[in-house]
Amino acid sequence: MLSEFVECMGFAPKLIITDQDWGMKLAMERVLTSTRHRWCMWHIMMKLPEKVPKRILVNEELKKDLGSCIWSELLEPEEFEETWLTIMDQYGLQNESWFTTMFTQREYWILAYFRDFPIGSLLKTTSFSESENSFFRRYTKPHFNLAGFMMHYNSALDAQRNISERLDFSDASKVPILSTEQLFEKHAAAMYTDRIFQQVQDEIVEAHRRRRMPHFEMEDNTEIYAIMDSHRNIGVIHHEVGTESYHCDCELFLRRGILCCHIFLLFKNHDVKEIPETYIGTRWLKTPLLKSVHNDPSEEASSSADSQVDDKRVVVTKLHSLYFRLFQRAQSNGNDIFALFDGMEELSQKLFGDTVPSVSSLGKA
């Protein structure tokens, strides 16, 4: 099934989240060799009361310590291991089988091991697929035949499109209230969807509150800043002088696609007016600004924050996006699809001297 899935999609997924099903694990190891496999944290934590003696779980302090170590996005793997082993030692859990087993399998479920993975921190559980299941369940029934299923499936998609259009309208018409006078906040409000802007704004406000200049060092051509936020987390930023390259080791941008308060504080001190294009990202933009999602995945993988984006690639991305948007608009407007075809045929003749069959002749064929 997994091989067929890859064949249909054209490439393997970058990440799959499952419960701790052993069969899935073995199949993925055989077929999806380049895919990261993650276990759903919700499934693991739900089973905890069955796996661990009651006397252990009544200890509130232990639950708190364990929770902050398991769910932290900021710990590096070595820091996680050190913290976990300290907890085992402190609460005498070295010989509890659940803890020892789950520690040996830590790379499948602990967030510290997914810090380098884009949007890894949002995908902690299988909740996305569970919510899709529950959504489609509202539109389907077990006794449907194929035709009935397709009709109801289309209704479900229409409902999703309606929600999406409503959100697009809200994004286009709503004027977000700005919290600072920083121009990059205004820029963020113009680029991101309303919901994501609120998260970006939280980071900007956090940066705005910090008045103190960060600790600074210079190494070759790179400025290194250590900035402490109000949660006492320190972000170490590397900024290459004369470029728009910023990297913070809290890795928020890598995980969620939005910049962290540490980098925004630096923007404030450096009087940066707009968020550089590389750090605007591609995922959370308002719909008219969205870029194509149909890029070559190998190209996408190499588009890391510090890679150089050449002009040709920018145009290719914009072209994909333009075509995709035109196609979507034309498709929802009856005869426009014919006009789009005619226009593209004309362009093809102009550019390549090709003659492609017209829509009407396609129809007759």
CA distance 256 to 245: 18
Look at the block and give the residue holding tokens 């994909």.
320
Q: Which of 17, 75, 248, 275 binds Zn ion (CB under 5 A)?
A: 248
Minimum separation from the CB atom of position 97 to Zn ion (A): 38
Q: Which of 260, 272, 280, 340 binds Zn ion (CB under 5 A)?
A: 260
Q: Are 133 and 97 in contact (CB under 8 A)?
A: no
In sequence order, which residues have a C-beta less than 8 Å from that of residue 294 and are 6 or more positions away? 320, 324
Nearer to Zn ion, 248 or 280 (CB): 248
Nearer to Zn ion, 171 or 251 (CB): 251
Residues in region 88-117 near Zn ion by CB under 5 A: none
CA distance 313 to 320: 11
Residue type, 192: Y
Minimum separation from the CB atom of position 299 to Zn ion (A): 27
266 binds Zn ion (CB under 5 A): no
Identify which range of 18-26, 246-254, 271-279, 339-347 contacts Zn ion by CB under 5 A. 246-254
Residues in region 1-40 near Zn ion by CB under 5 A: none
Distance of alpha carbon 37 from its chain centroid, rounded? 16
Residues in region 209-238 near Zn ion by CB under 5 A: 235
Minimum separation from the CB atom of position 122 to Zn ion (A): 17
Interface with Zn ion (CB under 5 A), residue total 5
258 binds Zn ion (CB under 5 A): no
Nearer to Zn ion, 189 or 237 (CB): 237
State the sign of the Cα–Cα–Cα–Cα dihedral 11, 17, 20, 21. Answer: negative
257 binds Zn ion (CB under 5 A): no
Q: Which of 262, 264, 266, 340 binds Zn ion (CB under 5 A)?
A: 262
Minimum separation from the CB atom of position 226 to Zn ion (A): 11
Minimum separation from the CB atom of position 221 to Zn ion (A): 21
Q: Encoding tokens for residue 289? A: 């600004």
265 binds Zn ion (CB under 5 A): no
Q: Are 31 and 6 in contact (CB under 8 A)?
A: yes
CA distance 116 to 76: 10
Distance of alpha carbon 74 from its chain centroid, rounded? 17
Identify which range of 150-158, 172-180, 242-250, 286-294 contacts Zn ion by CB under 5 A. 242-250
- Helices assigned H by DSSP within 13-114: 22-31, 41-51, 54-57, 60-70, 77-90, 97-104
Q: Which of 66, 70, 207, 250 binds Zn ion (CB under 5 A)?
A: 250
HSE at residue 133, side-chain half, CA atoms within 13 A, is 5
In sequence order, which residues have a C-beta less than 8 Å from that of residue 231 and are 6 or more positions away? none
Minimum separation from the CB atom of position 262 to Zn ion (A): 3
**Which string of x and - marks every residue 305-344 that binds Zn ion (by CB under 5 A)?**
----------------------------------------
124 binds Zn ion (CB under 5 A): no
Identify which range of 25-33, 258-266, 313-321, 349-357 contacts Zn ion by CB under 5 A. 258-266
**Other C-beta atoms within 10 Å of 227: how many?**
26
Nearer to Zn ion, 197 or 246 (CB): 246
Minimum separation from the CB atom of position 234 to Zn ion (A): 9
Instruction: Look at residue 70 and give its three-state secondary structure.
Output: helix
Buried b (16+ CB within 10 A) or exposed e, 136-155: eeebeeeeeeeeeeeebeee
Residue type, 106: R
Minimum separation from the CB atom of position 77 to Zn ion (A): 18
Which residues of this chain interact with Zn ion, rule CB under 5 A? Answer: 235, 248, 250, 260, 262
